[in-house]
Structure 1
């Protein structure tokens, strides 16, 4: 006596027929079984390596792997049914192949925030991720298997028989998966709760779940209206008494990490020009996130990182709105992927191309120098200019600085990291940091030389970057597993003599305050304090400037 295998919804009463040509027909379940087996074997290297690290080469790993196989098969058979069968299986193969490239080769986790980054990026930025290696990987592990599945004939069953098997197969497989986990539930539940990086590498379940969560986020926030914030904001006595318009330039850096910032003690002096200009450096600053789409809106929000979410952020006005309520002119100028709705209620524009800064294919941040010169000439009121840089955004680091500015050599000149050594990648990255230093110094010199406004400049990066440490590259790791290379960022402040006199700021006090640990949570309150904007929403405990005011002589 024989029994059908577990999870098999049965077989057709007739013997399998041989299809014309090279193909032999298969049941719908057999096709799904083959696809799931291929994806778990070919697209889950990181998942299995993390499982081996957690469980070791033990029966627990085999039991956990069997449960994952059954659950993946159950979900696949549930989704891949009827006329949707082949389109769904093809889509799963392509998703798993794409995600596995970024997860296995670059250490990137495809979560909701990463999906959001992908959806809000630009073609110019995104195309650098479509490398030769990626296309070959997609061909071998996605397109060719998908073509095979698409051409494979599938045996047709009577409607009711097919329906009953479609219901039975996922139910049995999901029940089997749950049962296998229940055998060692205490152990497995602890792992799933405490080692979230394991499930985050499960292909294609992880990216599919992330896409669903992102879609839910979009639906929840599509009609959110920002509630007013800081309507009581007004100019303090120092700002109101200023003899000339006060201008603060807030430069939002991109992907610069604190570890490679020369002013923080990095072995290479990547910031010699800022050092020469005596900026106030903040050596211990933590970012609000590990990707622009999360970190940048958070740093402009009144909410601390611990309480921030995109829904909450969109539901209330931000720093730029509060400055506007105080009668300060606010403008946002972008050389990156946009303002992420931060500047929705103020003037915003993409910085126009400048042949001197855009001659090598993409515009470097030198494009801001001509813009700043033109803006200074027309300022007639207290103003905050926000300049959003392209900074050190990878993987094409070599495009972020002019070739003539290549200080650290040999540098990687490819977006395909496998073409370069880790040292070449680090050299190219350090060149981007040194060029940011050069651009910021150029802005400071321009501000210091003019006589129209009372100037200050604040620089802070949005998040850091991994350069191959522990197999991780780029950024965007979930906060719970992000290394400090992605969460520690540089911050610096330059105040002109006129600004310090007008705002009655003690420089020694500022330098001492800068040594204390800080984070993006401080930016909202510190910039209001720097501009001498009074409002109930400014938290003096988070404002790193106001405690350094001294009475006028």
Structure 2
């Protein structure tokens, strides 16, 4: 080792040589996922051009030299190249291990991730990978000695290299333009794997959109929503916001393993054809509560207008948002009362960083025992099935399926272990939902309070299908495992707003997060100009008197407030 270190310490090269060798490493090693996927797409063509295939790594290398050569000059050379290698190695690990694409959405997810969640990805496998592909090459770059020519002479040499590389790019583009265009048009996901330039582009756009665009004026969708009920009883709805649960793993939806053994006997209705707005919490949570839909959603727009929670609160309902997801309501609960579950180790359900979702039950019970408003909405935000540390989402005593995967580098577990571990998180979620329903049922028996429960997950999860793990792929080519999510509804027998037999008959109809806004208003009997009857999947099963109470003009009036 000392000889190797000594060799690089005594090695003297020019900045242009270091630039070229580093770009070779970035383009030909750290971009292996891109080169592999692009090569597969090319060779899958009926009559592919071999020269076109050969041009691909040359094209990528030349582009790397152009981009890096513009900024990595003289004393900036080492810091910028080391930074690029470090970032690229992390992207390389995420892509090759989990199939992650570092696009705009993933940049947003990364920047909004808390330290505890980020540390869940740290393990021996990740550390060794980063040491070999990130730290070691960076150490070599740091140790080599650079010789500098006079400034203008070195600048001229650098311009020659950049010009030559750019000429190669133009030559390849002109000769194989139709080939690149065809492959790119039919494989739009490929650009997401170009390391680290796709992430650099996405990071620039994220920073621009969030820190340099002027704030939008706040839009009030309805200034005077109201709650109209005929019943003299108090009403409470608990919305359980799930995390990383995929519909395919629910036995209520036909899954062969008994993951819903608790709720299946409680008269719940599972809507088995539900799709998400996004493939990550940062998009799906604010989107499902927003009047916007998947096609026109943007965080900037959604945070600048009332959401469903705001309207229900303005209508007079008491709202409490209880989070076991590190306070991550993504802006939805900004204007209502919130409660974060304390992760202190003194709670046997917590380990100092995370709590099992049963920790939500105590604050829920406390709230249900002190209802003062005629109408109450309680949102329980779960940690659910958040990976990759699935084994930390359920107590060992609640492990139903074995053997499971007791590690965070899930790609090194067998498929059986991984599936069992994930299924244990779903079974545990089902247990928590069952206990919530039991608490609500007690309200009917003791206090004659009508209640309902709505459970919806934010997005799904990939568990190694086609080599993809976790979630967050761009929606356009995300697998069904990441977009097909569960939705469960329960209502106690004393409520008369909905015909549950009718809802059960409609449970296989296609719906999405786009319907959540109006579904929530409907369940809470909110009369509002923001309500869209055409977008309410429950409307066909709502009693006639309930429809008459809450339906208003479908025209959406908006007031803009500075």
TM-score (norm 2): 0.91
Deviations 1:71-100 (A, max 9, x none): 111101112113211110000110111000
User: 1:211 — aligned with what?
Assistant: 203
SS at 1:448's partner residue? helix
CA distance in 2, matches of 1:33, 1:359: 48
Contact kept in structure 2, 1:299 and 1:520, CA below 8 Å: yes
Q: How many matched pairs?
A: 529
The worse-fitting range, judged by mean Cα deviation, of 293-302 and 306-315 is 306-315
Q: Match for 1:299 among 283, 288, 293?
A: 288
Contact kept in structure 2, 1:283 and 1:491, CA below 8 Å: yes
User: 1:9 — aligned with what?
Assistant: none
User: 2:109 — aligned with what?
Assistant: 117
Q: How far off is 1:291 after superposition?
A: 0.5
CA distance in 2, matches of 1:245, 1:220: 46
Tell me if 1:490 matches 2:486. Answer: yes
Q: Match for 1:350 among 336, 340, 365?
A: 340
SS at 2:319's partner residue? strand
Contact kept in structure 1, 2:236 and 2:451, CA below 8 Å: yes
Q: Match for 1:48 among 30, 35, 48?
A: 35
Tell me if 1:402 matches 2:398. Answer: no
Segments of structure 1 that go 5 or more residues without pairing to the other structure are 1-18
Tell me if 1:366 matches 2:362. Answer: no
CA distance in 2, matches of 1:178, 1:342: 48
SS at 1:355's partner residue? coil
Contact kept in structure 2, 1:69 and 1:177, CA below 8 Å: no
Contact kept in structure 2, 1:245 and 1:380, CA below 8 Å: no
User: 2:220 — aligned with what?
Assistant: 228
User: 2:442 — aligned with what?
Assistant: 449
Q: Match for 1:27 among 4, 9, 14?
A: 14
Q: Aligned runs of 1:267-278 on 2, under 5 Å?
A: 267-278=256-267
Contact kept in structure 1, 2:116 and 2:353, CA below 8 Å: no
User: 1:510 — aligned with what?
Assistant: 503
User: 1:102 — aligned with what?
Assistant: 94
Q: How far off is 1:513 after superposition?
A: 2.5
User: 1:324 — aligned with what?
Assistant: 313
CA distance in 1, matches of 2:188, 2:20: 26
Q: Match for 1:459 among 446, 455, 458?
A: 455
Contact kept in structure 2, 1:100 and 1:203, CA below 8 Å: yes
User: 2:554 — aligned with what?
Assistant: none
TM-score (norm 1): 0.92
SS at 2:339's partner residue? strand
The worse-fitting range, judged by mean Cα deviation, of 171-180 and 287-296 is 171-180
Q: How far off is 1:198 after superposition?
A: 1.6
Q: Using a 3 Å threshold, how does the CA distance of structure 1 residues 214 and 551 change in structure 2: closer, same or farther?
A: closer
CA distance in 1, matches of 2:452, 2:281: 24
Segments of structure 2 that go 5 or more residues without pairing to the other structure are 1-5, 547-562
SS at 2:153's partner residue? helix
Q: Using a 3 Å threshold, how does the CA distance of structure 1 residues 25 and 460 change in structure 2: closer, same or farther?
A: same
Q: Match for 2:465 among 465, 469, 491?
A: 469
SS at 1:399's partner residue? helix
Q: Match for 2:163 among 171, 185, 206?
A: 171
Q: Match for 1:429 among 397, 422, 436?
A: 422
SS at 2:537's partner residue? coil
SS at 1:206's partner residue? helix
Q: How far off is 1:23 after superposition?
A: 2.3
Q: How far off is 1:22 after superposition?
A: 5.2
CA distance in 2, matches of 1:320, 1:257: 24
Q: Using a 3 Å threshold, how does the CA distance of structure 1 residues 265 and 195 change in structure 2: closer, same or farther?
A: same
User: 1:546 — aligned with what?
Assistant: 539
CA RMSD of aligned residues (A): 1.9
SS at 2:400's partner residue? coil
The worse-fitting range, judged by mean Cα deviation, of 167-176 and 533-542 is 167-176
Q: How far off is 1:550 after superposition?
A: 2.3
Contact kept in structure 2, 1:255 and 1:391, CA below 8 Å: yes
User: 2:240 — aligned with what?
Assistant: 251
CA distance in 2, matches of 1:149, 1:222: 41
The worse-fitting range, judged by mean Cα deviation, of 463-472 and 174-183 is 174-183
Q: Using a 3 Å threshold, how does the CA distance of structure 1 residues 228 and 434 change in structure 2: closer, same or farther?
A: same
Q: How far off is 1:487 after superposition?
A: 0.3
Q: Match for 1:262 among 229, 251, 260?
A: 251
Q: How far off is 1:21 after superposition?
A: 8.1
User: 1:525 — aligned with what?
Assistant: 518
User: 1:391 — aligned with what?
Assistant: 384
Q: Aligned runs of 1:303-314 on 2, under 5 Å?
A: 303-314=292-303
CA distance in 1, matches of 2:155, 2:321: 57
Tell me if 1:140 matches 2:132. Answer: yes
SS at 1:302's partner residue? coil
Q: Aligned runs of 1:281-300 on 2, under 5 Å?
A: 281-300=270-289
